[in-house]
Chain A
């Protein structure tokens, strides 16, 4: 068809277009990284003692939320939303901590594997309910938020349990240089090992396809229902990793879900994933979480009331989305 004709003039500037589109695609993440760099410099100037230790602390404190927002990003890309992420984190965290308490280090390996499988199973239930009942994602996962949180309370009524030493060791301390926190390396490694192969596969393409246009995806032979269930399973898996990171970084588990669900939605939006699906990746949200947390640290250094920091976070969330949609409106008018 006409494709053969049109490709020839493009071939000359092919690499440039490819580079351009790659830049455009990750433009949001790159600019977030730029903002992060600027913020780090500002933090260093207002607090000269901010150094390796500060970065260590930052990496450990952002780990659970960063993983939660990765979990959220996967399902939002597939045009879903999972409000039960926080509850799934609480459930997987209490299950792992309860099973690891008083057991050997070797047994903990099996516990970790079991917890990850549990995460996949929780996600599969969410996904199957969304696909099977045809109820909007937000309602189903809102309901499952109650269910998983209730299950977490059944496992453990008060904070308790324990974490294996090797698991704690994975998230604390530096790696190679004092400037490289182990928590950050471990987290990025896990996300990369799981996400990048999927992203490159047929399945990853299907995720984006059902996110940007479910009907078109269906007509080109993508099994929309199965792909959606798969997206929810991935979200469950990453929620389980986030739950394990809660156990690992605090050494105990809490049955009451933290503020992770709503913050993960915020981070996903700030990280350049469109709530309408099909756009963005999982690394943008991670950077967004680090930025939000760094802003909080900065304001502490500046002796700003921590409650105002919450206000600023909310204002940033709303402001960024407003600017984003303004740009979108401008573009569509042209």
Chain B
């Protein structure tokens, strides 16, 4: 941004520009404020609802969404998007459920994660080497994965399927009613994503490719290698999220996670990651997932129909994205 521009803003909009700076540099602070306001609102509307147990339920519901949103955050940083995460997550939860009674739990997990990684590898090759638009590549992949999981379902119809105990405990149970056990999975995953994005060369490369693909290529970045690894990571994370979803809902179905696909994009957008690439981070996304979860629960506890939730949800995405576009002067 130009000097004249900042000077002008400083003169006319002293207070708003101070706010805009906070918003631009540390989007996580206004997001936390919004989250706290939502919690206060919940308490005002339904006195007594906010309790340690309530908080734990919120966190438990937000965790799988936050992991899926990690896939979107990382791919969006490079200017991409991963629409195959829902299909991959459902597939991996389902594969484990079908294998647990036969070959065993760990074989199932290995097969599911391997299948996810293969899907991610193909995504990465398509996007990185063949330069297919990520939207199209991952959309096509989600059709392929969904179709193959359906075929697998028909093959496996005799053996029956059951969500393994381990997933049910990991996804749904709470320690002492206040600490969701899924944190055992989430904390390492989140820490790894945060460290990778903020403290490693690989993370810098993701930002670089998204911020300016030409400059990063001239600087010697082999974008195709970075992208292949990225989409494999995204698919494996989606697989892990799928395990938690199947445990949380105690359902193994090939379309289980479909309804979380667009919320996962929404969580990343609300969290301040730009779909154009180069700006954002995982911290905001986690808060974004929490905000979405609290809003849904608030609305459903008020007895509003699903319709109102969706309308509010959509309006909020536009509003937040517009606010980001305003403060960052992006075109």
Contacts and interface: CB of A to CB of B under 8 A. Distances in A.
A129 B319 CA distance: 10
| A interface bracket (residues with beta carbon within 8 Å of B) | 35 or more
Contact of B310 (A140, A153, A307): A153
A140 B318 CA distance: 6
Interface in A102-133: 129, 133
Given A135-B318, A139-B321, A147-B315, A317 B147 contact: no
Given A151-B307, A153-B306, A326-B130, A269 B143 contact: no
B265 A322 contact: no
B276 interface: yes
Interface in B280-305: 305
A153 B314 CA distance: 14
Contacts of A149: 310
Interface stretch (A42-50, A243-251, A308-316): A308-316
B275 A315 contact: no
A190 B305 CA distance: 37
Contacts of A139: 269, 275, 317-318, 321
B137 A143 contact: no
B147 A147 contact: no
Contacts of A325: 130-132
Interface string B299-331: 000000111111111111110011011000011
B304 to A, nearest CB: 10
Interface stretch (B49-57, B104-112, B148-156): B148-156
Contact of B331 (A134, A315, A326): A134
Nearest to A255: B307
A10 interface: no
B325 A135 contact: yes
Contact of A144 (B135, B147, B318): B318
A135 B316 CA distance: 13
B139 interface: yes
A275 interface: yes
A317 B317 contact: no
A150 B310 contact: yes
B132 A313 contact: no
A83 B314 CA distance: 12
A134 B317 contact: no
Contact of A314 (B143, B266, B318): B143
Contact of B266 (A136, A142, A321): A142
Contacts, number: 151
B177 interface: no
B137 A318 contact: yes
Contacts of B81: 138
A329 interface: yes
Contacts of A265: 135-136, 139
A137 B308 CA distance: 23
B30 interface: no
A275 B132 CA distance: 10
B137 A153 contact: no
B126 interface: yes
B234 interface: no
B71 interface: no
Contacts of B311: 146-147, 150-151, 154
A142 B265 contact: yes
A305 interface: yes
B144 interface: yes
B147 A309 contact: yes
B146 interface: yes
A266 B139 contact: yes
B81 to A, nearest CB: 8
Nearest to A156: B307
Contacts of A144: 314, 318
A183 B142 CA distance: 31
A27 to B, nearest CB: 21
A307 B330 contact: no
A328 B312 CA distance: 42
B282 to A, nearest CB: 18
Contact of A153 (B136, B144, B305, B324): B305
B141 interface: yes
B319 to A, nearest CB: 9
Contacts of A134: 322, 325, 330-331
Interface in B128-181: 130-133, 135-137, 139-144, 146-148, 150-151, 154
A254 to B, nearest CB: 14
Contacts of B150: 307, 310
B262 interface: yes
Nearest to B263: A146
A157 interface: yes
A145 interface: yes
Given A81-B135, A147-B314, A312-B147, 12 more contacts: A134-B331, A135-B321, A139-B317, A140-B318, A146-B313, A152-B307, A265-B135, A311-B148, A318-B136, A321-B133, A321-B137, A322-B132
Interface of B: 81, 83, 126, 130-133, 135-137, 139-144, 146-148, 150-151, 154, 262, 265-266, 269, 274-276, 305-318, 321-322, 324-325, 330-331
Query: Which A-B residue pairs are the 6 nearest by beta carbons?
Result: A314-B143, A146-B314, A150-B310, A310-B147, A311-B147, A307-B150
29 contacts: A135-B325, A139-B318, A140-B318, A142-B317, A143-B266, A144-B318, A146-B310, A146-B317, A147-B310, A150-B306, A150-B311, A150-B314, A151-B307, A152-B307, A153-B307, A262-B83, A266-B140, A269-B136, A307-B148, A308-B151, A310-B150, A311-B144, A311-B148, A315-B144, A317-B143, A318-B137, A318-B140, A321-B133, A326-B130
